[in-house]
Amino acid sequence: MEFSLPAWLGGLAGAVVAVVIYVPAIRAIERHLRAKTGPATLEQRAEFEDKLSIMRRAILGIDIAALATAGYWVGHLIGAAGAHGPRL
């Protein structure tokens, strides 16, 4: 595993893209789930909010891990492509 600047910048870019995608996606999912559940008691609402909070964290964690890793690989490939070019 190589720690090059292009790879790290790719990883950072992947993490930023993950957060940008997360915000609208989680709002749409949350809206859908809230509409699906309908009216509920206070206990049911509290349980739903707890499950929703866990789901949000899991989606964000998976999203950041996957896209940061993909960004790291892309950055590494781009950085490696420049390293093997002709030298003057």
pLDDT at 4: 81
Tell me the pTM. 0.72
pLDDT exceeds 50 at position 88: no
Domain boundaries, the chain: 21-83
Over residues 17-60, the pLDDT tens digits come to: 999 999 999 999 889 988 888 777 889 889 989 999 999 999 99
Mean pLDDT of 1-12: 82
Q: Which residues of 30-41 are buried (b: 16+ CB within 10 A; e: fewer)?
A: eeeeeeeeeeee
Q: What's the DSSP call for residue 4?
A: -
